[in-house]
Homo-oligomer: A and B are copies of this chain.
Amino acid sequence: MNPTLEIFSQGEEVVTGQTVDTNAAWLSERVVDMGFTVTRHTAVGDKLDDLVALLKEISSRADCCICTGGLGPTSDDLTAEAVAKAFGLPLEFDAVAFEQIQRFFTLRNRVMPESNRKQAMFPKGAVRIDNAWGTAPGFSLQAGRCWFAFVPGVPTEMRHLFLESIQPTLASRFLLRPDKLITLRTFGLGESAIQQRISMIEIPPQVRLGFRAGPDDVQTKLLFPQGYPETILTSLVGQVAAELGDNVYAIDGLGQASGDLVFTVDQLMTAGKHTLAVVETASQGLLAAKCIGKDWLLETRYEQSLQKLCRKLTVTDNTNDLPATAQAIANEIHKTGTADFVLVQLYSGDKSTFHDKDQAIILYNTLLTKDGFFQTTGSVAGPIERKQNQAALLALDLLRRYLQQKELCN
């Protein structure tokens, strides 16, 4: 049995919906990876009695609890007081914490307000968690069955404190047997198409299969229990990957760094020392924007009007044959530029089609390479922002497929 863990978020901004609690999901993903079973998330506002009652509940039912928020200097920051009251521990002044808080202000040429003194008061027996990224130190303590860690709610501070202090402590305090999660990231197949393709593969009952469809990809997840034989794991992942074919652009969890589609394209372009020129239409700048900071992107242009684009490049705008028009555009840009590859995105569909969420535009992507032209066609419906995003990704995905195919053949 894995140890159980609860996440507890404090703050009126969370319960009133002013802030989406991303901390709970971020922490849960990490502790699940470590081998905890997360049993509950709870968020409450700034009411002392609610906090006290909740702390008592958790101390009797969970092995571990990570609490975010309520450590600030103002009167609605009640965490330390609630812990003191819930577990009958007096608040004590921590001189080291106080010095750290003062130093934070001194370094910024500011005078420490008197209210910040409060942040140096911890329940008796608590262990301080130093915070170099903000004014509020955290603290940890054992109460009843549960080991509690209290950290600020500001996501950057919380993440630093978790990774640098709490995670190592958890690893040494608890006997953890983490499961192994393998995620196949695909672009070009819907969730139900994926389910159909892999339905013939026999998944052993100890392995959990899941799916997650987002705006940028669909993820197929295989969760293997700790100690699962490596050869069977590799063979099963290989079978799933084979069924999904070249729609798979990355596999997470096999030890190599991976990320989104742009990450994969960046790795392939950098490794091959390639360079790229891009012409986008439907994505209106978003394709280039997604590639911010990538040195291989040499030339970029976008144009809503195919006529204007063709006039500028002195190319015939044959709207009845967009693939041929795209090739002509690519040739023209290749002639005048220095990039190895030219990626051209055109689409058919008028303005009302583009705006109407119930109508689809047809995208024609063309990639010019020294191995010749490669082309894909795709249809995208939905709100205008979805069409824009899918248009950018479909074009990048053509480049990704070409580069991965090339890599396989070398």
Interface residues of A, Cβ cutoff 8 Å to B: 9, 13-22, 24-30, 32, 38-45, 47, 50, 210, 212, 221, 280, 283-289, 291-293, 300-304, 354-355, 384-385, 388
Which listed residue, B16, B29, B286, touches A289 by the CB 8 Å rule? B286
Q: Is the CB of A28 within 8 A of B15?
A: yes
Main secondary structure of the interface of A (DSSP, over half): mixed
Q: Chain B's nearest CB lies how many Å from the CB of A383? A: 9
For this complex, 21 residue pairs linking A to B, each with C-beta atoms less than 8 Å apart, are: A14-B25, A16-B29, A17-B25, A17-B29, A17-B30, A17-B32, A19-B25, A20-B20, A21-B21, A21-B24, A21-B41, A39-B44, A39-B45, A40-B50, A41-B41, A42-B43, A285-B300, A289-B388, A292-B388, A293-B384, A301-B302
For the complex, give the distance between the alpha carbons of A283 and B284 in Å: 13
Most chain B CB within 10 A, of A20, A44, A285, A291, is at A285
For the complex, give the distance between the alpha carbons of A292 and B388 in Å: 8
**A210 CB contacts on chain B under 8 angstroms:** 13, 18
For the complex, give the distance between the alpha carbons of A293 and B18 in Å: 29
Q: Is the CB of B13 within 8 A of A17?
A: no
Known: A285-B288, A300-B285. A17 touches B21 (CB 8 A): no
**A30 CB contacts on chain B under 8 angstroms:** 17
For the complex, give the distance between the alpha carbons of A50 and B28 in Å: 18
Known: A285-B289, A289-B289. A44 touches B40 (CB 8 A): yes
**A355 CB contacts on chain B under 8 angstroms:** 293
**A293 CB contacts on chain B under 8 angstroms:** 354-355, 384
For the complex, give the distance between the alpha carbons of A79 and B56 in Å: 26
**A14 CB contacts on chain B under 8 angstroms:** 25, 41
Q: Is the CB of B39 within 8 A of A42?
A: no
**A38 CB contacts on chain B under 8 angstroms:** 15-17, 45
Nearest B residue to A298, CB-CB: B304
Q: Is the CB of B16 within 8 A of A21?
A: no
Q: Chain B's nearest CB lies how many Å from the CB of A17? A: 3
For the complex, give the distance between the alpha carbons of A43 and B292 in Å: 37
Q: Chain B's nearest CB lies how many Å from the CB of A67? A: 14
For the complex, give the distance between the alpha carbons of A288 and B281 in Å: 11
Q: Is the CB of A26 within 8 A of B17?
A: yes
**A304 CB contacts on chain B under 8 angstroms:** 300
**A291 CB contacts on chain B under 8 angstroms:** 284
**A27 CB contacts on chain B under 8 angstroms:** 17
For the complex, give the distance between the alpha carbons of A24 and B45 in Å: 14
Which listed residue, B41, B42, B212, B302, touches A285 by the CB 8 Å rule? B302
For the complex, give the distance between the alpha carbons of A65 and B260 in Å: 37
Q: Chain B's nearest CB lies how many Å from the CB of A203? A: 15
Q: Chain B's nearest CB lies how many Å from the CB of A209? A: 12
**A212 CB contacts on chain B under 8 angstroms:** 13, 18-19
**A16 CB contacts on chain B under 8 angstroms:** 28-29, 32, 38
Q: Chain B's nearest CB lies how many Å from the CB of A318? A: 23
Nearest B residue to A214, CB-CB: B19
For the complex, give the distance between the alpha carbons of A210 and B13 in Å: 9
For the complex, give the distance between the alpha carbons of A392 and B76 in Å: 36
**A13 CB contacts on chain B under 8 angstroms:** 210, 212
A-B complex: 4 closest residue pairs judged by Cβ atoms: A17-B28, A285-B285, A285-B288, A17-B29
Nearest B residue to A15, CB-CB: B38
For the complex, give the distance between the alpha carbons of A38 and B14 in Å: 10
